[in-house]
Amino acid sequence: MSIAENLAQVRKEIEAAARRAGRDPAEIKLVAVSKTVPAEVIAQAVEAGVDALGENRVQEALGKQEEVPGAAWHLIGHLQTNKVKKVIGKFELIHSLDSIRLAREIGRRSQEAGITTDTLVQVNIGREESKFGLPREEVLPFIDEARKIPGLKILGLMAIPPFEEEPENARPYFQELRSLFEEVAAKGWPEVEMRWLSMGMSSDFQVAIEEGANIVRVGTRIFGQRQ
Ligand SMILES: *Cc1c(COP(=O)(O)O)cnc(C)c1O
């Protein structure tokens, strides 16, 4: 299967999942996750209509940005505070905001550059030792503090639930993130705009969409198995 064929199939499944949930497929953004994929292959995806690419390593992403024009870039992996300087102005959305120290550094560097950086708060929805993100109960107090930082904008939540062989088993995690998303929105904080709910990957994006995701991050189903 070519990249274009994979992409067409993924789009079809996104559309079907949206319709099952009574949602407009047009409101769901596909981020094609291109980590480890070489630039010339990513270019084929852009050629086939991909307009957002997800990378989890800063250095790798910055290199590819030079080589692959024509799409927006999303940082979906953990961001170290000492790398913030490099990412300012380079990503449409940072999905991995997970500490107040990081939030302050993004705000400070963004202000220096005269811009605002859009972010999602990463939630460790399965409370896994091995995963980044804030535990659920810290999310509201965190956002209440981070929202006041100039240069930083919070636009939603992101999570990577525990790996499940059976996609259906991820559903409760997606429901929990959705309910947290609603809770934040209900606070009505003026600086916060709950626009994006980033959840769902190759194995479970259909379930995530049924549960309210409006960004799905799909790598393997588009580019094939990673090395
Ligand atoms: C790698 C990765 C993905 C994509 O995973 P696939 O299973 O290949 O679709 C999505 N989100 C994050 C944060 C990732 O690191």
pLDDT tens, 73-109? 999 999 999 999 999 999 999 999 999 999 999 999 9
Give the residue among 24, 19, 55 at the shortest CA–CA distance from 38: 55
CA gap 127, 135 in Å, rounded: 6
Pocket test for ligand 1, best of 10, 14, 76 (most atoms within 8 A of CB): 76
Query: What is the topology classification, in CATH, of domain 3-223?
Result: TIM Barrel (3.20.20)
Q: Where are the domains of the chain?
A: 3-223
DSSP string, 37-83: --HHHHHHHHHTT--EEEES-HHHHHHHHHH--SSEEEE-S---GGG
Residue 133: predicted pLDDT: 98
Kindly report, residue by residue over 138-187, the tens digit of the pLDDT.
Answer: 999 999 999 999 999 999 999 999 999 999 999 999 999 999 999 999 99
- Model confidence at 20, in pLDDT bands (50, 70, 90)? very high
∠ at Cα 36 (30, 40), nearest 5°? Answer: 80
Residue 29: predicted pLDDT: 98
CA gap 205, 222 in Å, rounded: 13
Does the pLDDT at position 34 exceed 90? yes
Atom of ligand 1 nearest to the CA of 95: 13
- Ligand 1 centroid vs 77 CA: distance in angstroms? 9
Rounded alpha-carbon distances, angstroms, from residue 25 to 16, 31, 46, 74, 217 = 8, 14, 20, 21, 15
Q: What backbone phi and psi angles, to 5 degrees, belong to 52?
A: -140, 130
- Ligand 1 centroid vs 33 CA: distance in angstroms? 6
Residue 72: predicted pLDDT: 98
Residue 63: predicted pLDDT: 97
Atom of ligand 1 nearest to the CA of 221: 9
- Count of CB atoms within 10 A of residue 51's CB? 14
- Ligand 1 centroid vs 111 CA: distance in angstroms? 30
Does the pLDDT at position 1 exceed 90? no
Residue 176: predicted pLDDT: 98
| Strand duo 196-198 + 29-33: pairing | unpaired
DSSP string, 187-203: H--TT----EEE---TT
Return mean pLDDT, the chain. Answer: 97
- Model confidence at 205, in pLDDT bands (50, 70, 90)? very high
Pocket test for ligand 1, best of 121, 128, 205, 217 (most atoms within 8 A of CB): 217
Residue 157: predicted pLDDT: 99
Torsion angle of C-alpha atoms 57, 63, 68, 70, degrees rounded to 10: 70
For the chain, the maximum distance between any two Cα atoms, rounded to a whole number of angstroms, is: 48
| Residue ranges around ligand 1 (CB below 6 Å) | 33, 35, 56, 76-77, 160, 201-203, 217-220
Pocket test for ligand 1, best of 56, 122, 128, 196 (most atoms within 8 A of CB): 56
Nearest CA residue ID for atom 10, ligand 1: 217
Continuous H helices in the chain: 3-20, 39-47, 58-67, 84-87, 100-113, 136-146, 171-187, 205-210, 220-223
Does the pLDDT at position 227 exceed 90? no
Atom of ligand 1 nearest to the CA of 223: 8
Residue 76: predicted pLDDT: 98
CA gap 109, 176 in Å, rounded: 33
